């Protein structure tokens, strides 16, 4: 029997595993980097061991330090979570060689499926690896890293002329991210022929039993990373489901698989194309847990202890949908956001998170804040429930994708089950169009009027006077609002002020009464779900930037500059100049105009802060 588990991970998944361990009466050990010294997973574990440094390469990717931490803390088992070392066969061997229980598949199974090209060959599929394998008729195609995942080392190619450059760039990114520059090419389905990302959850024991726990659809993706997942995958024929599950079992038996794993497919034109096998727990595992009534982490632990699964898996019931809440701005090329998370509350659904109110979101790791999961008897009910919970959610802090998630879940393509992996490529502008509440600035101003010291006369004047004025920035626009102090209290033109206090304002317009909850953090004001910035009465005349300045959109590291880029070079509008890496994603910084690069202020490997000057491009004269 396992007594103490060290989780070789951080954040949400570490907290998730700890929750099950507590329910089973198992003690828990966390590991933490210097950046995670006060992180939630560090605080909730029974014991925690520091991994000196902040970068993943120095901390969560140091298998030797993690094994040493497990031994020093008295753990007898290691759970890898997902990401980091979860699919590293060498780490799995190091754990077992140290006399610890590995809560995962055998190292040889991880090794067999670690390379996507090797996995394809194992399944009888010969991968395409070079430009010579592709003709115009094959386009578009996806260049993909053979190792790793998470959207790293991927490039969509629509012209054969771009293929060599895409292969070179993907190899460089894959080598940097995974230490393996091997890439391959597979068909890319979009438009009317758009493909769906469908996967099968498997669970196997050491006694020869392999369960399939249904399908999941993970088609809503950005940057090849999943955003919304659900189980079961809607709209599949019974025959196709049987084919998917049969292939998944065949893959598991081919490598002697043990534990929880996922086999992924691209479904297009009624056909299933094998993609890969993930030899770990998936981020989206909660939707399967909800539908099948199982705790997959508990099952992983029981399998690792040698227990046998029942002959048949439990029966599915209902439908579950999960949405990943990210600290990112979808309208700005999904740029990750950092800062203080003042408040996080998503009501009435399961919420898996690694953050609590007051935690800081840093630059070193993935920007996912939480996963919200809704379960109901039908798909329509589950989707409606999750959309409603997210709409009512309180998320105060950096910009998030919350509004995008709500609109995605209510989009006709999604509600009808007709989505595919090109969903955001088609609909992102409409899904990110600003739609702030027009009365939010007035509510903020009225609450502000009630938040300071009040005289016994309530602020009204006996003689008619100019209105009180407040200025706010909302959705990129400046709003100036006016209100009056009168004998009857606060008033505003065109709106009836029913009630106004420092944290709650009730307004009535066109016969409809609405309540606004107002919260302040310095100059940041939240009115229900609308974020505003309180502006000074007098504009700041000191902030000036040279025309053509390119500023860092986020904190990050300059991972590479465009080939041959030097000051004085001629550049074209849209030409990539450099790439920033932040929160496990690469972000391209391109020239905003055609002209001359007059200033290049950064170099490879340099750390930059938000707003830092990267380069200056002097525009061509008309």
Helices (DSSP H) in 134-230: which residue ranges? Answer: 163-178
Beta bridge partners of 260: 203
Count Cβ atoms below 10 Å from residue 420 Cβ, excluding itself.
24
What gap in Å lies between CA 239 and CA 255, rounded to an integer?
A: 25
Token pair of 63, please?
Answer: 């298998």
Backbone angles phi, psi at 286, to 5 degrees: -60, -30
Per 3-state DSSP, the chain is made up of helix, strand and coil in percentages (nearest 5) of 25, 35, 40
Full 3-state SS string of 275-305? EEEECCCCCCHHHHHHHHCCCHHHHHHHHHC
What is the dihedral angle through the alpha carbons of 143, 149, 153, 154, rounded to the nearest 10 degrees?
Answer: 40
Full 3-state SS string of 334-373? CEECCEECCEEECCCCEEEECCCCCCEECCCCCCEEEEEE
Beta bridge partners of 484: 491
Beta bridge partners of 350: 373
Q: Which position has the token pair 């790793």?
A: 148
What gap in Å lies between CA 40 and CA 12, rounded to an integer?
A: 9
What gap in Å lies between CA 516 and CA 504, rounded to an integer?
A: 6
* Contact present, 181 and 228 (Cβ < 8 Å): no
- Number of residues written out for the chain: 622
Beta bridge partners of 571: 595
What gap in Å lies between CA 424 and CA 409, rounded to an integer?
A: 12
Catalytic residue ranges: 280
What gap in Å lies between CA 595 and CA 567, rounded to an integer?
A: 12
Reported as type and span, the H/E element at residue 526 is strand 524-527
């Amino acid at each position: 029997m396992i007594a103490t588990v060290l989780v070789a991970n951080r954040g949400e998944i570490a907290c998730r595993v700890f929750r099950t361990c507590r329910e089973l009466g198992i003690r828990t050990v966390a590991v933490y980097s210097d950046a995670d010294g006060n992180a939630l997973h560090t605080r909730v574990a029974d014991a925690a061991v520091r991994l000196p440094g902040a970068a993943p390469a120095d901390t969560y990717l140091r298998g030797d330090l993690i094994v040493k931490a497990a031994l020093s803390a008295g753990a007898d088992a290691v759970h890898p979570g997902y990401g980091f070392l979860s699919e590293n066969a060498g780490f799995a061997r190091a754990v077992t060689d140290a006399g610890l229980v590995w809560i995962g598949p055998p190292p040889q199974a991880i090794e067999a499926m670690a390379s996507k090209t090797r996995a394809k060959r194992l399944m009888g599929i010969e991968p395409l690896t070079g430009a010579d394998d592709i003709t115009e008729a094959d386009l578009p195609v996806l260049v993909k890293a053979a190792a790793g995942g998470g959207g790293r080392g991927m490039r969509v190619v629509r012209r054969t002329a771009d293929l060599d450059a895409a292969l070179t760039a993907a190899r460089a990114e894959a080598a940097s991210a995974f230490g393996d520059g091997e890439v391959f090419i597979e068909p890319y389905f979009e438009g009317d022929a758009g493909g769906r990302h469908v996967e099968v959850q498997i669970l196997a024991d050491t006694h020869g039993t392999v369960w399939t726990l249904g399908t999941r659809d993970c088609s809503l993706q950005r940057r090849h990373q999943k955003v919304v997942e659900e189980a079961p995958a809607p709209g599949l024929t019974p025959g196709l489901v049987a084919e998917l599950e049969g292939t998944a079992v065949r893959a598991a038996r081919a490598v002697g698989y043990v534990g929880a794993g996922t086999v992924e497919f691209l479904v297009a034109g009624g056909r299933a194309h094998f993609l890969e096998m993930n030899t770990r727990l998936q981020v989206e595992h909660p939707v399967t847990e909800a539908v099948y009534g199982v705790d997959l982490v508990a099952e992983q632990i029981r399998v690792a202890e040698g227990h046998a699964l029942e002959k048949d898996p439990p029966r599915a019931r209902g439908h579950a949908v999960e949405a990943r809440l990210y600290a990112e701005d979808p309208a700005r090329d999904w740029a990750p956001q950092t800062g203080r998370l003042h408040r996080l509350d998503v009501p009435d659904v399961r919420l898996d998170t690694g953050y609590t109110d007051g935690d800081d979101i840093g630059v070193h790791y993935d920007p996912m804040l939480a996963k919200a999961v809704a379960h109901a008897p039908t798909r329509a009910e589950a989707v409606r429930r999750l959309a409603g919970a997210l709409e009512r959610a309180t998320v105060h802090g950096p910009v998030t994708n919350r509004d995008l998630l709500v609109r995605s879940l209510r989009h006709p393509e999604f509600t009808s089950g007709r989505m595919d992996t090109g969903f955001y490529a088609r609909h992102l502008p409409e899904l990110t169009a600003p739609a702030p509440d027009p009365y939010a600035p007035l509510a903020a101003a009225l609450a502000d009027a009630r938040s300071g010291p009040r005289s016994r006369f309530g602020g009204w004047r006996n003689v008619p006077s100019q209105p009180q004025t407040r200025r706010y920035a909302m959705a990129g626009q400046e709003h100036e609002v006016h209100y009056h102090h009168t004998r009857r209290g606060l008033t505003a033109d065109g709106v009836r002020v029913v009630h106004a206090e420092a944290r709650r304002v009730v307004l009535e317009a066109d016969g409809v009464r609405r309540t606004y909850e107002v919260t302040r953090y310095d100059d940041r004001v939240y009115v229900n779900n609308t974020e505003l910035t309180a502006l000074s009465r007098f504009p700041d005349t000191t902030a000036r930037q040279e025309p053509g300045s390119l500023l860092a959109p986020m904190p990050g590291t300059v991972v590479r500059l465009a080939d041959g880029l030097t000051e004085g070079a001629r550049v074209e509008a849209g030409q990539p100049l450099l790439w920033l890496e932040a929160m496990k994603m690469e972000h391209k910084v391109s020239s905003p105009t055609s002209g001359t690069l007059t200033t290049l202020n950064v170099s490879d490997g340099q750390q930059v802060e938000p707003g830092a000057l990267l380069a200056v491009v002097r525009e061509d004269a008309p």
